[in-house]
């Protein structure tokens, strides 16, 4: 069992929704603001728009997520791709381009 400190027990993070092993966390303020994004962040905070993130706790479960959607993982997690070889990869790439 792993324990993550200063994430869910942080004043800046709250659980917006929770269902089963999936939890939607919401950041009360955006701490990644810089000069290029400060105006956008100001108006987003005035409109009560906050960043959200899905947190999935695996307990002998399987989940399918979009490519590039995982930011970090902790523990013994195995990932598999649905590409079986170069021919399959090219076939899927062609199908995606033709849509």
E runs forming strands in the chain: 13-19, 22-27, 52-56
pLDDT of residue 43: 93
Distance between CA atoms of 29 and 51, rounded to whole angstroms?
8
Predicted local distance difference test score (pLDDT) of residue 97 = 58
Cα(24)–Cα(17) distance, integer angstroms = 5
Residue extents of the structural domains in the chain: 13-98
Sheet holding 13-19, edge to edge: 13-19, 22-27, 52-56
Burial letters for 47-60: b for 16+ Cβ neighbours within 10 Å, e otherwise? eeeeeeeebeeeee
**pLDDT digits 0-9 by tens, 26-49:** 998 888 889 999 999 899 989 999
């Amino acid at each position: 069992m792993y324990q993550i400190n200063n994430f869910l027990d942080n004043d800046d993070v709250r659980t917006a929704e929770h269902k089963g092993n999936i939890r939607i966390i919401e950041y009360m303020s955006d701490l990644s603001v810089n000069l290029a994004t400060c105006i956008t962040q100001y108006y987003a905070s005035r409109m009560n728009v906050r960043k959200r993130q899905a947190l999935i706790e695996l307990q002998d479960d399987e989940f399918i997520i979009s490519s590039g959607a995982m930011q970090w993982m902790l523990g013994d997690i195995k990932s598999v791709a649905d590409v079986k070889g170069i021919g399959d990869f090219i076939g899927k790439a062609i199908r995606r381009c033709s849509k």
